[in-house]
């Protein structure tokens, strides 16, 4: 696979301005991709895009070209990404910023391991792909028709995608900004990464949002009309939108929506992906350097486990005060991916009344990135989860998780998750895998 550098430097500098506005994290805490235990640029990859590239090269797969969309529909099909995951961002926070506006936003599509970005009249399709060991890698695909389409890996993306918002490892994030009428962010007004812990009224500045959410307010669909006061977004006509037809030229997009439920799902997934990468890298580097048993190392990794476990259990999720309702088919198709236990329950089932998901444990526990964590770290996470779900851990941090929810999650995992530690499994039980 080719490794190359981007040529969109003015737009890249614009994006760097947004990243610089995010919360500060000491650069000393960033991990080095070139460390021999990681070898980020040279180690073999097994992420979905790399595997697809291999199929393209040996003729097992083919990308079909579509006028106006490039290879986007074919890429999504080959990577098993449903178009109804579409979310639209109009802030100029991409290296293709000059092609992005409030009328023609960038579209993102995603599944558990891949995110694909599309810009109308852009030069390339942007792809982020999660490798079970290495974390996320970044690729582009020429949007123009070529005899042999293929993905190029982009090292320059780490200038924006390794830093404060990604826990110091190559990662992904959703940023909320204060955009002007053209989508240009106001740097001095600040920018910040959001996830399921963020209050709704602090989310999605610079994003389009379709869906119903009652009297709860968010920052989506809005711009600041007064450049001198960019923090004052014009919110009239921006809430509870079921159509973007008055705001966006919807021709040339696969869907007509930027679904609120899809946004909340991807938002949850971003920070957890970064946590899994950070913990895996920390442990592998420590083992390589002979420091895995050092007390300081254990305390550092335990601090990330202390953040990961409650995040996986949604213990610190910002509550919904009124029901949420999406307007695309995402709310129906996402749960269909399963797996389901013998009672038909899945960690992908939505609640959307008081919280995002019905059962409070992240579906990302099924992701290969979780299973590929170093054994010792994964066991520590399993033990912590088990202690919470069985009621042994009665700490206040998990007080919101009811006894019924703990039992339901424990039962679902025992019935659907292969390779659980023996102490999890009831006698003679086998995962259904349905």
State the average pLDDT over residues 139-167: 91
Scored b (16 or more CB within 10 A) or e, 32-43 reads ebeeebbebeee
Average pLDDT over residues 18-34: 62
Residue range 226-237: average pLDDT? 89
First-to-last alpha carbon distance for the chain, in angstroms, is 35
Instruction: Count Cβ atoms below 10 Å from residue 160 Cβ, excluding itself.
Output: 22
* 260: confidence class by pLDDT, cuts 50, 70, 90: very high
pLDDT of residue 6: 43
Reply yes or no on whether the pLDDT at 239 is more than 70.
yes
What pLDDT score does 16 carry? 43
Helix/strand/coil for 229: coil
Helix (H) or strand (E) holding 380: helix 375-389
Reported as a pLDDT band with limits 50, 70 and 90, residue 426 is confident
Q: What is the structure's pLDDT at 427?
A: 52
Query: What is the reported pTM?
Result: 0.92
Residue-averaged pLDDT of the chain: 91
Under the banding of pLDDT at 50, 70 and 90, the label for residue 23 is very low
The answer on pLDDT for 307 being more than 80 is yes
pLDDT band at residue 1 using 50, 70 and 90 as cut-offs? low
Residue 221 has pLDDT above 60, yes or no: yes
Percent of the chain with pLDDT over 70: 92
- The percentage of the chain sitting over the pLDDT mark of 90, rounded to a whole number, equals 81
Sign of the CA dihedral running 56, 59, 63, 65: positive
**Mean pLDDT, range 38-50, rounded to an integer:** 97
Q: How do 106-110 and 87-89 pair as beta strands?
A: antiparallel
pLDDT > 80? residue 137: yes
Would you say 175 and 206 are in contact if contact means Cβ atoms under 8 Å apart? yes
Q: What is the pLDDT of residue 8?
A: 43
From CA 95, how far away is CA 97, in angstroms rounded?
A: 5
CA distance 22 to 174: 11
Question: Which residue is listed with tokens 């240009």?
Answer: 184
Residue 91's Cβ-side half-sphere holds a number of Cα atoms within 13 Å equal to 26
When pLDDT is cut at 50, 70 and 90, the band that residue 36 belongs to is: very high
The predicted pLDDT at position 159 comes to 83
Length of the chain (residues): 434
pLDDT value for 3: 43
Binning pLDDT at 50, 70 and 90, where does residue 12 land?
very low
Q: How many Å apart are CA 226 and CA 207, to the nearest integer?
A: 19
Residue 432 has what pLDDT? 44
Q: Is 345's pLDDT higher than 80?
A: yes
**pLDDT the model gives residue 164:** 85
- pLDDT band for 96, please (50, 70, 90 cuts): confident
What is the per-residue pLDDT across 281-300, written as a single tens digit (0 to 9) for each? Answer: 999 999 999 999 999 999 99
| Residue 31 DSSP label | P
Q: Please compute the mean of the pLDDT values over residues 387-396 and round it to a whole number.
A: 94
């Amino acid at each position: 696979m080719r490794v190359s550098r981007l040529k969109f430097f003015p737009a890249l500098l614009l994006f760097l301005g947004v990243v610089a506005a995010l919360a500060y994290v000491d650069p000393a805490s960033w991990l080095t991709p070139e460390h021999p235990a990681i070898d980020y640029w040279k180690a073999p990859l097994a992420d979905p895009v790399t595997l697809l590239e291999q199929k393209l090269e040996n003729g097992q797969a083919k990308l079909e070209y579509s006028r106006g969309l490039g290879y986007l529909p074919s890429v999504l099909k080959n990577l098993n990404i449903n178009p109804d995951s579409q979310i639209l961002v109009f802030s100029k926070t991409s290296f293709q910023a000059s092609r992005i506006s409030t009328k023609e936003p960038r579209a993102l599509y995603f599944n558990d391991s891949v995110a694909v970005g599309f810009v109308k009249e852009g030069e390339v399709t942007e792809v982020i792909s999660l490798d079970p060991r290495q974390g996320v890698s970044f690729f582009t695909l020429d949007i123009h028709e070529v005899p042999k389409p293929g993905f190029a890996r982009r090292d320059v993306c780490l200038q924006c995608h390794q830093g404060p918002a990604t826990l110091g490892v190559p990662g992904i994030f959703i940023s909320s900004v204060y955009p002007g009428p053209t989508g240009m962010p106001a740097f001095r007004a600040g920018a910040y990464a959001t996830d399921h812990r963020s209050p709704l009224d602090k989310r999605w500045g610079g994003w389009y949002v379709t869906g119903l959410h009652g009297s709860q307010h968010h920052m989506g669909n809005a711009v600041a009309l007064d450049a001198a006061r960019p923090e004052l977004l014009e919110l009239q006509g921006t809430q509870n939108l079921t159509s973007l037809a008055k705001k966006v030229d919807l021709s040339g997009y696969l869907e007509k929506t930027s679904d609120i439920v899809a946004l909340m799902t991807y938002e949850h997934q971003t920070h957890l992906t970064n946590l899994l990468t950070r913990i895996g890298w920390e442990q592998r580097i420590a083992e390589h350097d002979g420091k895995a048993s050092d007390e300081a190392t254990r305390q550092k990794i335990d601090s990330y486990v202390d953040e990961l476990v409650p995040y996986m259990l949604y213990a610190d999720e910002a509550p919904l005060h009124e029901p949420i309702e999406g307007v695309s088919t995402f709310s129906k198709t996402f749960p269909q991916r399963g797996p389901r236990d013998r009672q038909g329950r899945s960690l992908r089932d939505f609640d959307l009344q008081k919280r995002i998901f019905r059962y409070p444990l992240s579906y990302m526990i099924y992701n290969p990135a979780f299973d590929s964590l170093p054994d010792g770290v994964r066991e520590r996470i399993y033990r912590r989860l088990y202690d919470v779900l069985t009621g042994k851990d009665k700490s206040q941090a998990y007080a919101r998780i009811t006894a019924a929810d703990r039992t339901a999650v424990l039962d679902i995992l025992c019935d659907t998750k292969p390779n659980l530690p023996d102490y999890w499994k009831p006698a003679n039980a086998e995962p259904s895998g349905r």
